[in-house]
Structure 1
Amino acid sequence: MKLTFLGAAGEVTGSQHLIETTHRRILLDCGFFQGRRAESRQKNETFYCQPKDLDAVILSHAHIDHCGNLPQLYRKGFRGPVFCTDATADIAEIMLMDSAKIQREDAKYLTRKLKKGHPPVEPFYTEEDVKELIRNFEPCLFSQWYDLTDDGEVQLRFHPSGHVLGSAITELLVKDGTEHRKVVFTGDLGRRDMPLLKDPVPVEGADVLICESTYGNRIHPPAQDIKTELKRIIGEAHLQGGRVIIPAFSFGRTQQIVYYLNELTNNKELDCLPMFLDSPLASRLTQVFRRYDHTLDADVQDTLRFDDDPFGFECLTEIENQQQSIELNDRRGCFVVISASGMCENGRVVHHLKQALPHPQNHVILMGYQAPHTTGRHIAERRKYVRIFDRDVALNAKVEQLEGLSAHADVVDFKWWFEESTKRGHFGKVFLVHGEPDSAKALAQTIRDYCDEDPIIPHFRETFDIP
């Protein structure tokens, strides 16, 4: 068996790992590389495997850096099944259709910038490619074994990873000639005691483990602190008559925030202030959370006994169209807007920030890490002016950065997961991916005592023979 790392090796985006046996080629994830435009385009347009020769893809979850390049894989010849959980299949369809739309708009924008006579920029894939790909999805239930191949050479079982709705740890039993190996891929490992999701499930060891390492050198603040902080900040804004703008990723983060606001209003800890969810994508994804509310954690199940919708309440309005979004600019008094994108780079939230930033009675709540060179990072740095729509906008609003909702395991979570898993079995070869070098190195030291060998931090396109 051979293992080749074709993405998220030494970095935290573009997840893609290839397993090859004598007769089979299986790809774990097929994500977009997300970064600066020129670098991203070069990395995303090239596949270092042959799409038409792949037998199957296993998708850990529906974040774009894990699923975003699947339609292009299909476009270039892949026709095999895509195995994932049922919730991931539903979410991936929404995310990929949105991705195709963004690419179409981005290609038009870039084409306008080209010199006359230059060929137009083409999107990586279209909405039609997404529709064709989705027909090949094979939704699977957690904890059940599935045959990936007709001859039983590869068997699959998913376990909850606790990262986002539908996210899975992949357990594979691989037969290669006379050899039998167990391969486990964590995907993105989640945290314990997070809102909405059940905790990640330990496994019974593995001959080969591919493990993410995004926050292998960090300890997160408790998630519950976020609810307390939301109550404080919104309360202050209410007294000052200001608006609160919460940039949030449409998938996962928005639903967590809405759930906390629902709890605060249910418990009468917040006055019934006008609140608005202004993200069509987030609204569509929230419908999926409602559909799968029976799979969510014990706190949600308790809430459902007296509240039939943990993601909606009297004070919350879901904005349906652009005109309604524009009308919020002229609204008076205190209100809350939750809108994408999480790093303030595009989407409707940019318009809300343009209106809110100059005024000291307003608040901006940044949820988590803001990448370098993004508008969110400039706001987090509390610069005097922030560039929005090619204009310098004064930053006088109060800025709060809350860190407790990261969906990735930290050092404490990793240590717990490895301890629990090695009570049930052992880990042979361990490969650490989806992390910057410092984070991966720190995690390698943390988990060394739980592995038979020193963990390996692979490089991009590096191949390993598994004896």
Structure 2
Amino acid sequence: MKLTVLGAAGEVTGSQHLIETSMRRLLLDCGLFQGHRAESRAKNSHFHCRPKELDAVILSHAHIDHCGNLPGLYKAGFRGPIFCTPPTAEIAAVMLRDAAKIQGEDAEYLRRHVDPRDARAIEPLYTEEHARAVCDLFETIPYGQREDVGKDVRILFREAGHILGSAIVELDLEEQGEWKRVVFTGDLGRRGLPILRDPQLVDRCDLLITEGTYGNRIHPEAGAQELELQRIIQRTAAREGRVIIPAFALGRTQNILYYLNDLNNQNLLPRIPMYVDSPLSRELTQIYLRHLNEMDAAVQRVRQADEHPFSFPGLQFIRTPQESASLNYRKGSFVVIASSGMCESGRVVHHLKHGLADEKNTVILMGFQAQGTLGRRLQERRSPVKVLNREVEIRADIECLTGLSAHADAADFQWWFGELGKRGGCGKAVVVHSEEGPAAATAALLADVCDEPPIVPKPGEVVEF
């Protein structure tokens, strides 16, 4: 049996790992590589897993860097089943249609602004038709139910605690009468994160494939973010300013709404309008509402008095571009949550263009801001900034709340790996979905748990087990 690491090797994008036995070829995740346009195009356009020969895909969760190239795989000829949890199937269907729509819009824009001879280079990777067709291949397995998907393959999904539906994959494979177990963490979540249940533990395995995104970092406490939100909103409302919160549509927006709902239930918010300006966020929040029973004990307690943990009086979901644009000319104080989280695209860019120059306003950055993004320039207060081809002075307050990361940190890894060690440890371990420093730190945390030194693979590296 062997593992070939085809993506997320030395980086935190493009998750894709090929498991092969003499009888089976199984792909763990099929994510989009996200980066500079030309490099992304080259990596996302070519598959090294021979799509037509794959027996199945096993999907850990519905973030685009884990599921986003499934339509491309379908376009390349894959027609096998895609196994995942029920919430992941619902969320991935929404995310993939949205990704295809954005690709089409971006390609159309670029065609109008580049040499027509280069038009082929900017064709979308796939269409909405491909996205819809690949979703028909989803076959769902509930958490905790070990499923025989062939005489020599069994799958079990455990709670990963990263986003709704995220799973730790246990994969049992038989070859020549001998069974081996592979555990793939997907993106391992944090303990104590709002809404989600904590990551579950696993027993001894022959091969562990683990992410290591923040293996060298300790996150701030998630619970402190609610009090910070209250403080910032009250201060900004007192000076009649607006609060602009760039937030990813999946996961982060629902966390913010959950905190705002809790503050509202305690009468700790000023009575000002609050808006979610993202049709995608609205659709995803509806999926969260359909799966309240799969959320943590705190959500279950809230539901006893409040059946909608993500809504409250004064909150409105903005639908049309016209409604979104009208907010920029609204008088008085309000809160607007809009994507994207790093301020690179979407409706939030328009809110920033109109709001950054006013000292009464506040921008709350709710997570990591990658190098080169507008979010990073705001974080570093590199005034002026260019927003939609306009130079804008940064006079608004910029607040950074980083405690809502959904990835495990060093303390979470130490706990999870330690518990694995008590349950027998693992034969081999491979650290993926991590840059060099965090990967080395994660490998060090693993060293006493596995029979051999942990591997930090290069792209395309093969690991036999």
Verify same fold: TM over 0.5: yes
Contact 1:71 1:125 (8 Å CA) reproduced: yes
Shifted more, 111-120 versus 359-368: the winner is 111-120
Secondary structure at the counterpart of residue 330 of structure 1: coil
CA distance in 2, matches of 1:122, 1:218: 39
Deviation readout 1:234-288 (Å, 9 max, x if unpaired): 0100111100000000000000000000000001111222100000000000000
Instruction: Name 2:6's counterpart in structure 1.
Output: 6
State the match for 1:64 in structure 2: 64
Instruction: Report SS of the residue matched to 1:60.
Output: coil
Partner of 1:259: 258
Query: 1:116: how far off?
Result: 3.7
Q: Provide the C-alpha distance between the structure 1 equivalents of 2:117 and 2:249, rounded to a whole number of angstroms.
A: 38
Q: CA deviation at 1:332?
A: 1.2
Alignment match, 1:137: 138
Q: 2:119 & 2:325 partners in 1: Cα distance?
A: 36
Structure 1 residue 119: Cα displacement: 4.2
Structure 1 counterpart SS, 2:31: coil
| Aligned twin of 1:357 | 356
2:86 maps to 1:86: yes
State the match for 1:436 in structure 2. 435
Q: Which position in structure 2 is the counterpart of 1:302?
A: 301
Distance 2:292 2:123 in 1: 39
Q: What SS class does the counterpart of residue 447 from structure 2 fall into?
A: helix
Displacement of 1:423 after TM fit?
Answer: 2.0
- 8 Å contact 2:215–2:442 — kept in the other structure? yes
1:99 aligns with 2:116: no
Deviation digits for residues 47-81 of structure 1, max 9, x if unmatched?
01100000000000000000000001001100000
The amino acid that maps onto 1:459 is K
Paired with 1:181 and 1:298, the residues of 2 have a C-alpha distance of 34
8 Å contact kept, 2:18–2:25:
yes
8 Å Cα contact 1:195/1:256 also seen in 2? yes
How many residues are aligned here? 464
Match of 2:218 in 1: 219
Other-structure match for 1:147: 148
Once residues 393 and 219 of structure 1 are traced to their aligned partners in structure 2, the CA distance between those partners, rounded to angstroms, is 34
SS of 2:144's equivalent? coil
Whole-Å separation in 2 of the counterparts to 1:55 and 1:40: 26
Give SS of 2:448's match.
Answer: helix
Query: In 1, Cα distance between the equivalents of 2:198 and 2:119?
Result: 50
1:46 match: 46
CA contact 2:420–2:449 (8 Å) conserved in 1: no
In the alignment, is residue 277 of structure 1 matched against residue 276 of structure 2? yes
- The answer on 1:202 being equivalent to 2:177 is no
State the alpha-carbon separation in 2 of the partners of residues 380 and 300 from structure 1: 32
Distance 2:61 2:116 in 1: 41
Q: Is the contact between residue 56 and residue 148 of structure 1 (CA under 8 Å) also seen in structure 2?
A: no
User: Which residue pairs with 2:375 in the alignment?
Assistant: 376
Q: Distance in 1 between matches of 2:353 and 2:250?
A: 24
Secondary structure at the residue paired with 1:42?
helix
User: What letter is aligned with 1:316?
Assistant: L
Write out per-residue CA displacement over residues 313-345 of structure 1, whole angstroms, 9 at most, x where no aligned residue. 001111111111111111111110000000000
| Equivalent-residue separation in structure 2 for 1:49 and 1:257 (angstroms) | 38
Contact 2:417 2:445 survives alignment (8 Å): no
Within 1, Cα distance between the matches of 2:386 and 2:111?
Answer: 24
Is 1:155–1:173's contact at 8 Å kept on the other side of the alignment?
yes
Whether the 8 Å CA contact 1:385–1:394 is kept in 2: the answer is yes
Question: SS of 2:263's equivalent?
Answer: helix
Structure 2 counterpart of 1:108: 108
CA distance in 2, matches of 1:208, 1:432: 11
Tell me, in whole angstroms, the C-alpha distance in 1 between the residues paired with 2:301 and 2:171: 34
Q: Mapping of 1:378-417 within 5 angstroms? A: 378-417=377-416
Runs of 4+ deviating beyond 4 Å: none
| 1:388-426 deviation line (CA, Å, top 9, x unaligned) | 111111110000011100000000000111122222222
Instruction: Identify the residue that residue 447 of structure 2 maps to in structure 1.
Output: 448
* Paired AA for residue 213 in structure 2: T
* TM superposition score normalised by structure 1: 0.98
Q: Distance between the aligned counterparts of 1:334 and 1:66, measured in 2?
A: 38
Query: Equivalent residue for 2:233?
Result: 234
Q: Greater CA deviation, 198-207 or 445-454? A: 445-454
The one-letter amino acid of 1:407's match is A
> Would the aligned equivalents of 1:358 and 1:395 in 2 still touch at CA under 8 Å?
yes
| Structure 2: gaps of 5 or more residues | none
Q: 1:159 is matched by which residue type in structure 2? A: R
Q: Which amino acid aligns with 2:288?
A: F
SS in 1 for 2:327: helix
The offset of 1:117, in angstroms, is 4.1
For 2:463 and 2:425, the matched residues in 1 are separated by: 20
Q: Percent identity?
A: 55
Contact 1:173 1:180 in 2 (8 A): yes
Give 1:107 deviation, angstroms. 1.2
SS at match of 2:398: strand
Superposition CA RMSD, Å: 0.9
State the AA in 2 paired with 1:137: F
